[in-house]
């Protein structure tokens, strides 16, 4: 409307130029389907040796607890060796939070730590 008034010569300035446009919301991350996740877990578990156990452990931890990739890759052995029911994770902004683990993730952590 302001541009129309400016174009018609009814106003000398465009007051809408001082108004900021609303910020665009960020889209949600893509989510894997249950079947895709099952295939990913199976592929990780199919690997041999300590690397296979490590990969399976990482996939299970990410799936069970909802860890971000940066949180997952910065986990220490001390964080894994503490209480098996949950992890204390340092997240965005250096804030600590609890990440719960299910039985499958706990078993994957145990298998990895024993083979290490």
Confidence of residue 35 (pLDDT cuts 50, 70, 90): very high
CATH number for the domain running over 31-115:
1.10.443.10
At 19 the pLDDT is 83
**Which whole number is the average pLDDT over 47-68?**
89
Of residues 83 and 47, which shows the higher confidence score? Answer: 47
18 pLDDT above the threshold of 90: no
* DSSP code of residue 28: P
Mode of pairing for the β-strands spanning 86-90 and 96-100: antiparallel
Q: What is the mean pLDDT of the chain?
A: 87
At 3 the pLDDT is 79
Domain residue ranges in the chain = 31-115
At 58 the pLDDT is 92
Burial of 41 (0-12, 13-18, 19+ CB in 10 A): middle
Of the chain, the percentage scoring pLDDT greater than 90 comes to: 18
Please choose, from the candidates 63, 103, 96, 57, the residue with its C-alpha nearest in 3D space to the C-alpha of residue 80. Answer: 57
């Amino acid at each position: 409307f302001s541009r129309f008034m400016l174009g018609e010569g009814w106003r000398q300035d465009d007051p809408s130029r001082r108004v900021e446009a609303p910020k665009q919301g960020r889209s949600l991350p893509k989510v894997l389907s249950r079947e895709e996740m099952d295939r990913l877990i199976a592929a990780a578990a199919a690997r041999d040796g300590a690397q296979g156990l490590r990969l399976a452990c990482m996939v299970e931890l990410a799936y069970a607890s909802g860890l971000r990739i940066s949180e997952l890759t910065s986990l220490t052995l001390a964080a894994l060796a503490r209480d098996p029911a949950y992890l204390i994770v340092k997240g965005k902004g250096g804030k600590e939070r609890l990440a719960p683990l299910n039985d499958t993730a706990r078993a994957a952590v145990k298998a990895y730590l024993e083979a290490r």
